[in-house]
C-alpha cells in the first residue's frame, strides 16, 4: 500500500487516501468539532477512550492494518472527505464575523499573553479557570476570525498530577509530558529557522526555544527554557506552572513579559494590540517601553504609546491575590533596566506602587494598570469591586466613573457541549446552532424540545459520567494505585438514578468546598432518604503550597470514607479538562459556594448550564447577573458580617433550598417518570445562560469595547 508523510516533521505513516489525518490531528480545531472527533473515534473507539480523545496518540498507537482497512472503506472515506472539506473551509476564513464586521482591521494583530492556556488534556499547561478561559478565548477568536496570537509557557512538566493517599492527603507529582503525543511543533522565524530568544535575568543570560500550537486559525507560541545551553537552574525556569518560590515566580514573569515581546519580534509579528490576561505578563509593557526609548522616543511619549495599545484584564477581586515582589528582588533583576527606559530607580519602583504597597513591594497589577488605557474585570460585580479597589489610581474621580469596564466571562460552547446534546440542539434549534450561540432568539426554541427527549439525553449523559467514574476506579485498582479503603470513596456506589450534585473547583478556602458539611445530621437526612436520595461528587486540586486548601481536601476525603454517609459522597482524583467535561455534562446540580465577594466570575457553572445541569450558587461572580429566579437557585449573601456569620447564613440557605425546593422538584414525576417541573427550569436555564455566557458574545465584546478602540488610538510605531 502506498503511503505518504505530509507534516513538516511527520510522526506517523498513513495510507495515501487518509494522508491528511496527520495534518488534522495537529490542529486543535478537531477538539471542538464533533465531526472531526467522530472521524478519529471511528478509527478505534476503545483506543480513542484510552488516549483520552487524543488523535496524535491514537494515530501513533493504532495498528497499521486497521488504517489499511479504513483506507478501502467507502463509508469511512466519505466521512473523511467531508471532514477535510469542513476543515479547509474553516481555515479559508473568507466569511468570518471579524472579516465582515471589521474588514479594515483584518491585517492587524492582537497579542494575547497568559501564564496558562487550557486547550486540551493532551497539553497540560493549565491549572484552572484562568487557563481554561484563555484557551476558550483563543478558540473563539479562531471561530470569529479575530487576528489573535497567543503567548505563554511550554511547562515541560505541566501542572502537578494529584494523588490522594490512603489517609486522604493530597500529594503533588510531576512528570514531563511527551510532546510527541501532543500537537506541538517548533515555531519558525520568517527565514525558516527555529525561533529562539535570550533574556537577561539577574545578570545571567537565559536562552529559550519557542514551540507552536495551532488552535484553529490562531497560533499559540510557548516559551521553553529547557535547552542544553542553559544551566540546570535556568532550565527549570519554565519547567512547572506556578512552581517554586517568589524569586522563581519573578523570573518566570520576566520571561513571559519581556521574553514574550522578543518572541513576537523574532517571528516577524508586529501586534497593534497587546492584551495582558492577568498581571503575570505585565513586564511586556516595560519591554515595549525599552524598545521605544532606545529607538529615540522620549519616555512620556513612549509611555502613552504603550498605554493606548495595551489591554489588561484583571481576574482577582482581593488585594492579596495580586503579585507583589519585594524591592530587593526588583533591584536584583532590574538594576540597570530603569535607565534603559529613561527613569530613576525611585521612578521605576513607583510604577508598581499602591497606597497599600508603598515602600513594601512592586505590584504587578499596579504596573500594568498604569501602562494600560483599556481595562476590564470579568463580571459585572467584579467590575464594581475592581473600581472600588483601584479608585486611588484616579484621585477625585467618583468610583462609578473609574475607567475599569466589565466584560463577563463566557465559555466556548462547541468545546464543552455533550455530543448527545449537540445532536439534540442541531435537530431542535438549528444545524448551525454553535455558530449562532450568542443569538437569544434561537435559544427560545429550547422550550419546544419535547420533555421526554431532553430527559432521555440528560439521563444518557449521567450514565456516561457514572461509567467514566467506575472505569477510572477499575483502572486505578488494576494498576495498584488505589488502597482498598479508597475504592468506595471514588464513586463506585453512586446511583445513576439519584439526584447528583457536583462540586469541582480549585480547593482555595474562599470557595468553601466543605460548606455542605456544616450540619452533618441534615446532610445525612438528604443523602439517606429512601425515596429521594441525594449524592455528592467532589473534584479539584489545592495548590501544593496551600496548606488550608490541602486540609479541605483531607476533610472532604474523610466524609467520602465515612460509612455513615453510605458511599454517597465521592472525590475524583486529579481533576483536569477531560474529567471536567464528564462532570459538567453528567451532574444534575452544579454547586458553587464562594465567600462573597471573592468570586471574580467563574465559568464552570456556565458549562453545566449549557448541558442542562442547574446552577446552585452564591449570588457572586457571573451568577449575580445570570440568575433570574427561575433558572436555578441562588444564595443571597450577607452584605457584611464576619466570616463565621457569613458561613452560617449561607449554609442555612443552602440546606433550606435543598430540602424545600431542589430535592422535591427533582423527584416530582409524572406517570411517565419525567420531572416536568424540573425540566422547565432546565429549559429556562439553557435559554437564558447559553446566549449570554458564551465566548462568542465575550470575544465580540472584547473586539468592540477594547481591541478596536486600542487599534484606532495606537500610533503607527512600535
Share of the chain above pLDDT 90, in %: 85
As a residue count, the chain comes to: 718
The per-residue pLDDT for 481 is: 77
410-448 pLDDT, tens per residue?
Answer: 999 999 999 999 999 999 999 999 999 999 999 999 999
How does residue 95 score in pLDDT terms, banded at 50, 70 and 90? confident
pLDDT at 627: 98
Residue 7 has pLDDT above 70, yes or no: no
Q: Which residues contact 563 (CB under 8 A, 6 or more apart)?
A: none
Query: Residue 11's pLDDT is what?
Result: 65
pLDDT over 70 percentage in the chain: 97
- Span 609-623, average pLDDT: 98
Q: Distance between the two ends of the chain, CA-based, in angstroms?
A: 54
pTM tops 0.85: yes
Tell me the CA distances in angstroms from 272 to 82, 95, 108, 290, 504, one per residue in order: 37, 23, 6, 17, 38
**Which residue matches cell numbers 527554557?**
225
Give the confidence band of 553 by pLDDT, cuts at 50, 70, 90. Answer: very high
pLDDT at residue 642 in the model: 87
Q: State the pairing for strand pair 110-113/204-215.
A: unpaired
Q: What is the pLDDT of residue 399?
A: 95
- The residue assigned the cell 506541538 is 184
pLDDT tens, position by position, 399-418: 999 999 999 999 999 999 99
d(C-alpha 681, C-alpha 320), whole Å: 38
594, 420, 610: which is closest to 511 by C-alpha?
594
The stretch 263-278 carries a mean pLDDT of 97
Q: How far apart are alpha carbons 155 and 34 in whole angstroms?
A: 29
Instruction: Write the pLDDT tens digit of every residue in 503-535.
Output: 999 999 999 999 999 999 999 999 999 999 999
Which carries the bigger pLDDT value, residue 686 or residue 128?
A: 686
CA distances from 409 to 33, 62, 129, 372 (A): 22, 39, 10, 20
Residue 242: band (very low, low, confident or very high) from pLDDT cuts 50, 70, 90: confident
Task: Give 454-504 pLDDT, tens digit per residue.
Answer: 999 999 999 999 999 999 998 888 877 787 778 888 888 899 999 999 999
Q: Quick one: average pLDDT of 304-308? A: 97
Q: Residue 716 pLDDT > 50, yes or no? A: no
Q: Output 99-107 pairs: Cβ under 8 A, ≥24 positions apart.
A: 99/145, 102/703, 102/708, 105/147, 105/708, 105/711, 106/145, 106/147, 107/147
- What does the pLDDT read at residue 562? 87
Helix (H, G, I), strand (E, B) or coil at 550: helix
Q: What is the pLDDT of residue 460?
A: 98
Q: Residue 170 in contact with residue 573, Cβ under 8 Å?
A: no
The pLDDT value recorded for residue 714 is: 55
The pLDDT score that the predictor gives to residue 680 is 98
Under the banding of pLDDT at 50, 70 and 90, the label for residue 63 is: very high
Asked if pLDDT for residue 718 goes beyond 80, the answer is: no
Mean predicted confidence (pLDDT) in 676-700:
98
Tell me 437's DSSP state.
T
Distance (Å, whole) CA 344 – CA 353: 15
Give the position of cell 504587578.
Answer: 364
Predicted confidence at residue 2, as pLDDT, reads: 34
* Average pLDDT score, the chain: 93
pLDDT digits (tens, 9 = 90+) for 139-188: 999 999 999 999 999 999 888 899 999 899 999 998 888 889 999 999 99
The whole-number pLDDT of residue 542 equals 94
Q: In this predicted structure, which of 149-158, 296-305, 381-390, 636-645 has the lowest mean pLDDT?
A: 636-645
Q: Which pLDDT does position 321 carry in this prediction?
A: 78
Q: How far apart are CA 449 and CA 428, in angstroms?
A: 6
Asked whether the predicted pLDDT for residue 258 surpasses 60, the reply is yes
pLDDT surpasses 80 at 593:
yes
Range name among 4-13, 170-179, 576-585 with the lowest pLDDT average: 4-13
Per-residue pLDDT for 8 more than 50? no
| Span 251-261, average pLDDT | 98
Amino acid at each position: 500500500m502506498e503511503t505518504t508523510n505530509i507534516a513538516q516533521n511527520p510522526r506517523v505513516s498513513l495510507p495515501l487516501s487518509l494522508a491528511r489525518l496527520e495534518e488534522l490531528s495537529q490542529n486543535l480545531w478537531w477538539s471542538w468539532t464533533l465531526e472531526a472527533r467522530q472521524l478519529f473515534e471511528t478509527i478505534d473507539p476503545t483506543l480513542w477512550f484510552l488516549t483520552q480523545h487524543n488523535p496524535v496518540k491514537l494515530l501513533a498507537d493504532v495498528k497499521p492494518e486497521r488504517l489499511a482497512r479504513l483506507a478501502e472503506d467507502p463509508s469511512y472515506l466519505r466521512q473523511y472527505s467531508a471532514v477535510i472539506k469542513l476543515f479547509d473551509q474553516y481555515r479559508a476564513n473568507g466569511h468570518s464575523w471579524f472579516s465582515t464586521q471589521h474588514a479594515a482591521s483584518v491585517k492587524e494583530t492582537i497579542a494575547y499573553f497568559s501564564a496558562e492556556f487550557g486547550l486540551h488534556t493532551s497539553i497540560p499547561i493549565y491549572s484552572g479557570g484562568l487557563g481554561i478561559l484563555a484557551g476558550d478565548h483563543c478558540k473563539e477568536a479562531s471561530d470569529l476570525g479575530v487576528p489573535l496570537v497567543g503567548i505563554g509557557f511550554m511547562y515541560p512538566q505541566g501542572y502537578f498530577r494529584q494523588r490522594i493517599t490512603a489517609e486522604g492527603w493530597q500529594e503533588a507529582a510531576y512528570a514531563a509530558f511527551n510532546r510527541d503525543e501532543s500537537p506541538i511543533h517548533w515555531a519558525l522565524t520568517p527565514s525558516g529557522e527555529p525561533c529562539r530568544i535570550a533574556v537577561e535575568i539577574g545578570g545571567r543570560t537565559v536562552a529559550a526555544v519557542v514551540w507552536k500550537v495551532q488552535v484553529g486559525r490562531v497560533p499559540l507560541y510557548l516559551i521553553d527554557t529547557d535547552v542544553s545551553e542553559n544551566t540546570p537552574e535556568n532550565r527549570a525556569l519554565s519547567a512547572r506552572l506556578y512552581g517554586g518560590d517568589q524569586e522563581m515566580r519573578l523570573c518566570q514573569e520576566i520571561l513571559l513579559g519581556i521574553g514574550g515581546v522578543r518572541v513576537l519580534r523574532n517571528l516577524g509579528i508586529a501586534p497593534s494590540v497587546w492584551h495582558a490576561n492577568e498581571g503575570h505578563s505585565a513586564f511586556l509593557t516595560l519591554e515595549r517601553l525599552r524598545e521605544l526609548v532606545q529607538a529615540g522616543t522620549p519616555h512620556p511619549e513612549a509611555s502613552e504609546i504603550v498605554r493606548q495599545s495595551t489591554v489588561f484584564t484583571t481576574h482577582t477581586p482581593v488585594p492579596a491575590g495580586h503579585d507583589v515582589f519585594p524591592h530587593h528582588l526588583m533591584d536584583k533583576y532590574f538594576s540597570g533596566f530603569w535607565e534603559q527606559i529613561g527613569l530613576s530607580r525611585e521612578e521605576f519602583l513607583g510604577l508598581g506602587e499602591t497606597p497599600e504597597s508603598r515602600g513594601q513591594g512592586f505590584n504587578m497589577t499596579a504596573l500594568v494598570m498604569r501602562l494600560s488605557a483599556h481595562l476590564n474585570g470579568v463580571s459585572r460585580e467584579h467590575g464594581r469591586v475592581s473600581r472600588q479597589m483601584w479608585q486611588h489610581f484616579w484621585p477625585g474621580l467618583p468610583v462609578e466613573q473609574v475607567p475599569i469596564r466589565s466584560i463577563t466571562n463566557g465559555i466556548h460552547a462547541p468545546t464543552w457541549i455533550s455530543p448527545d446534546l449537540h445532536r439534540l440542539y442541531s435537530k431542535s434549534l438549528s444545524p448551525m446552532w454553535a455558530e449562532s450561540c450568542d443569538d437569544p432568539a434561537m435559544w427560545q426554541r429550547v422550550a419546544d424540545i419535547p420533555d421526554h427527549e431532553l430527559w432521555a439525553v440528560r439521563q444518557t449523559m449521567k450514565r456516561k459520567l457514572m461509567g467514566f467514574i467506575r472505569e477510572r476506579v477499575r483502572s486505578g485498582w488494576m494498576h495498584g494505585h488505589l488502597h482498598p479503603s479508597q475504592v468506595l470513596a471514588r464513586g463506585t456506589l453512586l446511583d445513576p438514578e439519584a439526584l447528583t450534585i457536583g462540586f469541582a473547583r480549585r480547593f482555595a478556602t474562599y470557595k468553601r468546598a466543605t460548606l455542605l458539611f456544616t450540619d452533618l445530621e441534615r446532610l445525612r437526612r438528604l443523602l439517606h432518604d429512601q425515596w429521594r436520595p441525594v449524592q455528592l461528587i467532589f473534584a479539584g486540586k489545592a495548590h501544593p503550597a496551600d496548606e488550608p486548601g490541602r486540609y479541605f481536601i483531607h476533610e472532604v476525603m474523610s466524609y467520602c470514607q465515612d460509612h455513615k454517609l453510605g458511599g454517597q459522597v465521592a472525590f475524583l482524583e486529579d481533576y483536569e479538562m477531560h474529567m471536567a467535561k464528564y462532570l459538567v455534562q453528567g451532574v444534575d446540580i452544579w454547586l458553587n459556594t464562594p465567600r462573597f465577594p471573592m468570586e471574580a466570575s467563574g465559568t464552570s457553572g456556565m458549562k453545566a448550564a449549557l448541558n442542562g445541569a442547574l446552577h446552585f450558587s452564591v449570588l457572586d461572580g457571573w451568577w449575580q447577573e445570570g440568575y433570574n429566579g427561575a433558572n436555578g437557585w441562588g444564595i443571597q449573601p450577607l452584605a457584611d458580617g464576619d466570616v463565621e456569620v457569613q458561613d452560617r447564613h449561607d449554609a442555612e440557605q443552602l440546606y433550606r433550598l435543598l430540602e424545600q425546593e431542589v430535592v422535591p422538584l427533582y423527584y416530582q414525576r409524572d406517570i411517565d417518570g419525567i420531572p416536568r417541573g424540573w425540566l422547565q427550569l432546565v429549559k429556562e436555564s439553557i435559554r437564558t445562560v447559553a446566549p449570554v455566557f458564551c465566548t462568542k458574545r465575550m470575544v465580540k465584546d472584547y473586539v468592540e469595547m477594547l481591541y478596536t478602540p486600542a487599534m484606532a488610538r495606537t500610533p503607527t510605531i512600535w
